[in-house]
Amino acid sequence: MTLIVIPSDVACQLDVVDDPALDDFSESEARTRLAALLEKFSDVFVDSLPMDQLPPYRPVNHEIPLIDPTEKVKPRVYPLADKYRSQWAEHSAKYTRGRFWVSGPIDSAAPVFAIPKKNSQTARFVIDLRARNSNTVKRFSPIPDMTNVRYEVARSRYRSKFDVAAAFEQVRVIPEHVDRTGFATVTGTYTSRVMQFGDTNAPNTLNLLTSAMFQPCLPFAKIFFDDVHVHSDTRRAHLRHIKILCQEHSLHCHQYSKEVSQVCGRSRHQLPVCSLQALSARWCSP
C-alpha cells in the first residue's frame, strides 16, 4: 500500500497555535462564521454519498491478496423474491451509473442475497464473501484505542464529530485486484471498483487510510475508523480546525447538523460547536 507523504511546510501549517492575544469569537460571531463555513464546503457534507462519480484513488487503496490466486468460486445465483426485484433494479442502477460496479463476464463470483428489513417490504442486499475471505491473506493493524480518544477529546472545550459517509464505498480497489471482487446476481455478474462490505480486510484498510490522511491533524483531530473527532480550546481554533479538514481531505461526511448549541464554556451547559450527528454533549473531564 502506498502512503502519502505530507510536506513539512503543510504539516507545520496544520499545527499552527492561535495567538493567545486574539480575542475568541462570540457566540453570535461563531454561529455566523459556522454558517458561512458550511455553505463554502457544502460539497463535503452530504445526506448520502454521491454515486454519479467514482471516488479518487487515495493514500491507501484496498488490496485483496489471495492465498491461492488460481482458486475460483463458481458463480451461483440466489433467488430473489418478487417484492424485492424493483428495489434491486434501483439499487444496481445506482451503482452501475457511476461505474462503482461494472457489468461483465467473470470466472469467479460471490453470490448476493437479500435480508429483509424490519418492515419486510424492503431488503438489504448482501454479498456473501465467505469463500473469498477464506482464501484471503489476513492483514492486521492496531485498532484505535477508543478510551484514549475519549480522554484526549474530553480535555478540550469544543468538540465536533465527523461521520464519514459510506466509508467503505469511498475507498477504491487497486486496478490489479478488481477482477477478484466479482459477484453474481439475478440481473448478471459484476465487479466492484470500490471496497465491499464483508471483505475480511476492509476494516484494516479503512483504519490505515484514515490514520494516514489525518496524521498531520492529530494535534486537533482523533480518529476512530470512520469517525473523526475534532477538539479545540477556543471557538476561533475550532472553526479553523474544521476548515482545515474540509480543505485538506476529500472524504464526504454526513450532513452537518442544522442545530448549534449554546456556547457556554467549561460548565455543564451545552457547548456550541458543531457535530455531524447533532452537537455532541459535554464529556466529563478525565
To the question of pTM greater than 0.85 for the whole model, the response is no
Taking alpha carbons only, the member of 136, 140, 251 closest to residue 204 is: 140
Tell me which residues of the chain have a pLDDT lower than 70. Answer: 1-21, 255-286
What CATH number corresponds to the domain at position 140? 3.10.10.10
pLDDT of residue 144: 83
What pLDDT shows up at residue 120?
80
Give pLDDT tens digits for 199-240. Answer: 999 999 999 999 888 888 989 999 888 898 999 989 999 999
Distance CA 262, CA 249 (A): 28
Asked whether residue 127 is domain-assigned, the answer is yes
- End-to-end alpha carbon distance in the chain: 37
pLDDT at 256: 56
Q: Could you identify the residue written with the cell 484496498?
A: 62
Assigned domain for 189 exists: yes
- Residue 273 counted as domain residue: no
Give me the DSSP letters along 84-109. Answer: HHHHHHHHHHHHHHTTSEEE---S--
pLDDT number for residue 161: 87
Q: What pLDDT is recorded for position 75? A: 80
pLDDT of amino acid 266: 41
In a domain? residue 271: no
Host domain of residue 248 = 27-264
Residue 10 included in any domain: no
Structural domain contains residue 227 = yes
Residue 2: inside a domain, yes or no? no
- Helix (H) / strand (E) containing 36: helix 27-40
Residue 225 corresponds to which amino acid?
F
Counting the structural domains of the chain, the total is: 1
Q: Is residue 276 domain-resident?
A: no
